[in-house]
Structure 1
Amino acid sequence: MDQHQILINELIKLLEGGGAHATLKDALANVPADKRGVKPNGLPYSIWQLTEHIRITQWDMLEFSKDGSHESPNWPDDYWPDESSPADDAAWEKTIAQIDTDRNEFIALLKSGDIYANIPHGTGQSILREALQIADHTAYHTAEIVLLRRLLGIWKS
């Protein structure tokens, strides 16, 4: 296996999460519906808001990476939902499914070309940079979700 493929494989592991910490899938598994919108101890975000923020941000980076006509949402307001809770279980499941779908689409993009080349419509970004940004952003907020679950008493030991 060449060094390029080794790097791609490691980036995929990074995007999928885990290794040194919980995956996003683990962090979102079995969150009771009545806890998704709770902001414990005066914290500014609920599990739902963090999850939806991960979805919006990852989607934006994916679309930016593949489409020169993509217009990003307004920062920061359009990257965060106003509602503390999802409308219903279907909205919760749809967000989680979209995170998975978009991550898989980004991984396909990662495998498809030169990860070092500048994205033509960007300002110096590359697919490598976007992969690292998605992974870093998701890991950061996954840790927050785990912390919220601990504070709510709904995290496994």
Structure 2
Amino acid sequence: MESETAILITELKKLLNGGGAHVGFKDAVAGLPFNLLGEKPDHLPYSIWQLVEHIRIAQWDMLEFSKDGNHQSPKWPDEYWPKELAPKDEATWSNTLRQIDDDLQAFVALLESSNLYDKIPHGDGQRILTEALQIADHNAYHIAEIVVVRRLLGAWKNEQ
């Protein structure tokens, strides 16, 4: 019989990779034309690039906090949001997408190798479970924004 913790880890992995109730990150950015990454339609405060880069920074920070007591988080909120509307080039875009995936896989590995319920020694009561839920919640929120921006730009699924 599968343990409750194994079931929880399986469900957390599904949630972190896009869950069943919302679009996952890879689907949200798939087929996105490079020239639209810096657009801010209808006076929205962020471009797709800024949302994606924010996801990268925040997820990286939560991963590093979870595993390294010497990690220094970026200054909130200034260092969590890029000032540039668009990436400088396609290589920067590709590298950001790769880092988001790599960091997510590293967090999943941490999730699988840690006790979910133990407090993170250098934290203020956080647990790997807490961080997993925070990453999933944070990413889902901003992934939804990416989809909305794509819809407003006419670049979502059947609109392309």
Correspondence for 2:53? 52
State the aligned residue count.
157
Correspondence for 2:111? 110
Structure 1 length-normalised TM: 0.99
Q: Deviations over 1:37-62 (max 9, x none)?
A: 00001101000000000000000000
1:53 maps to amino acid? H
Q: Deviations over 1:76-124 (max 9, x none)?
A: 0000001000001100010000000000000000000211110000000
Greater shift, 11-20 or 141-150, is seen at 11-20
In 1, Cα distance between equivalents of 2:37 and 2:19: 22
1:9 aligns with 2:10: yes
Correspondence for 1:63? 64
Correspondence for 2:124? 123
Correspondence for 2:88? 87
Q: Aligned residues: percent identity?
A: 64
Structure 2: gaps spanning 5 or more residues: none
Q: Deviations over 1:18-47 (max 9, x none)?
A: 411111100001111110000001101000
In 2, Cα distance between equivalents of 1:110 and 1:33: 33
1:143 aligns with 2:144: yes
Q: Which runs of 4+ in 1 moved over 4 A?
A: none
In 2, Cα distance between equivalents of 1:41 and 1:118: 43
Matched position secondary structure for 2:59:
helix
In 1, Cα distance between equivalents of 2:47 and 2:74: 21
In 1, Cα distance between equivalents of 2:7 and 2:48: 34
Structure 1: gaps spanning 5 or more residues: none
Structure 2 length-normalised TM: 0.97
